[in-house]
Amino acid sequence: MIRIENLVKRYGKKYALDSISLDISKGEVIGFLGPNGAGKSTTMNIITGYLSATSGNVYIDGIDLLSDPQTVKTMIGYLPEQPPLYVDMTVREYLNFVFDLKKCTYSRKKHIDEICSVVKIADVQNRVIRNLSKGYKQRVGIAQALVGNPPIIIFDEPTVGLDPKEIIEIRSLIRKLGEKHTVILSTHILSEVQVVCDRIIIIDSGRIIADKPTEELARVAGTNKKYNVKISGPLREVLSMLKEHPGVKSAEATGENDNGTYTFILETDANTDIRRSLFSALTEYNWPMMGLEEINASLEDIFISIVDSKYESEKSSEGTRASWDDADEEI
């Protein structure tokens, strides 16, 4: 559905994209994950025809973007980082405007009604966009991407700046859209791609450093569970007890909070839940547990595991490239 070959974008001497290649099949929900400045927006802006590449090719459903940008644009709905909203229009006026802009041939009222109901903005459609909350503005941005019912939808950091409730709603909306469309979503938040996407492509400094199904990547990153636990008791004894506790692979003290309460980082394997047994054990010693928090694997953890495993596999295959760099197959 989307094929990118050796895409390069250079600004002066700086490579924003340093030869990116990937293949996305129909119906996939893809997460572009990477820190700020990695090249996510640049990639998306090139795929959607808003930015030209320095070199490389983009094919959408077999059509070369450069040879037929008009057709390609009708196949992609795009929500850029800054949604192109006309804030003085009402929602309905704006969607009608986009409908004309995209030269849609659907029955206008029915099509826009349907979109409003899918993204849940029917109740605000006569309000001026400027006065809507950030969450609603983002829904209107998603609605404009859906006008014309494009088979591919691309969202650039769709949950940035939203409150937690809005984030959950927008994520579940994107998941729902993924049932009928090919979706690419960019984010710098690991948990976001984990809950929404089938496949995760990690970009760093303009290169793809991992491209894997979500579960596989979670496995790379999640062989261990980590906890942050606060315990009130004698530091040395508590630490040696923690190290002996069944299921604990490592324990270290990271600091003293209040007088006599220490923070420890515990690592256990992913299948063991030590919370109950630890609580009972500490009660027996009369060392109160003041807090316990599971630490989620961060983007940095994933980077480290990937770089480590890449290094390992490069070592074992004597210089051949790691599996996630496998060359694309022919169309």
Binding site for ligand ADP (CB under 6 A): 11, 16, 34, 36-42
Closest to Mg ion by CB, 156 vs 169, is 156
Please state the closest distance from residue 230 (CB atom) to ligand ADP, in A.
35
Q: Which residues pair with 225 in a beta bridge?
A: 268
Report the distance separating Cα 301 and Cα 304, nearest Å. Answer: 5
- Tell me, rounded to whole angstroms, the distance of Cα 86 from its chain centroid: 27
Binds 34: which of ligand ADP, Mg ion, none (CB < 5-8 Å by kind) = ligand ADP
Binds 38: which of ligand ADP, Mg ion, none (CB < 5-8 Å by kind) = ligand ADP
Report the distance separating Cα 41 and Cα 111, nearest Å. Answer: 29
Closest to Mg ion by CB, 33 vs 116, is 33
Query: 32, 33, 41, 46: which one contacts Mg ion (CB under 5 A)?
Result: 41
Q: Report the largest interatomic distance among the alpha carbons of the chain, rounded to a whole angstrom.
A: 74
Residues 21-40 that bind Mg ion (CB under 5 A): 40
Binds 316: which of Mg ion, ligand ADP, none (CB < 5-8 Å by kind) = none
Report the distance separating Cα 277 and Cα 246, nearest Å. Answer: 8
Nearest residue to Mg ion by CB is 41
Binds 37: which of ligand ADP, Mg ion, none (CB < 5-8 Å by kind) = ligand ADP
Report the distance separating Cα 20 and Cα 4, nearest Å. Answer: 7
Closest to ligand ADP by CB, 34 vs 141, is 34
Binds 213: which of Mg ion, ligand ADP, none (CB < 5-8 Å by kind) = none
Q: What is the rounded radius of gyration, in angstroms, for the C-alpha atoms of the chain?
A: 24
How many CA atoms, within 13 angstroms, populate the side-chain half-sphere of residue 177?
A: 32
Please state the closest distance from residue 44 (CB atom) to Mg ion, in A.
8
Residues 212-241 that bind Mg ion (CB under 5 A): none
Closest to ligand ADP by CB, 6 vs 250, is 6
Task: Count the neighbouring beta carbons within 10 Å of the beta carbon of residue 5.
Answer: 15
Closest to ligand ADP by CB, 13 vs 236, is 13
Please state the closest distance from residue 136 (CB atom) to ligand ADP, in A.
24
Binds 16: which of ligand ADP, Mg ion, none (CB < 5-8 Å by kind) = ligand ADP
Structure token pair of residue 186:
């960019």
Please state the closest distance from residue 76 (CB atom) to ligand ADP, in A.
17
Closest to ligand ADP by CB, 11 vs 316, is 11
Closest to ligand ADP by CB, 46 vs 115, is 46
How many CA atoms, within 13 angstroms, populate the side-chain half-sphere of residue 148?
A: 22
Please state the closest distance from residue 182 (CB atom) to ligand ADP, in A.
20
45 counts as binding Mg ion under rule CB under 5 A? no
Helices (H), 178-289: 190-196, 214-221, 235-244, 275-285
- Selection from 2, 29, 39 nearest residue 203 by Cα: 39
Three-state helix/strand/coil letters over 151-210: CEEEEECCCCCCCHHHHHHHHHHHHHHCCCCEEEEEECCHHHHHHHCCEEEEEECCEEEE
Give contact residues for Mg ion (rule: CB under 5 A).
40-41
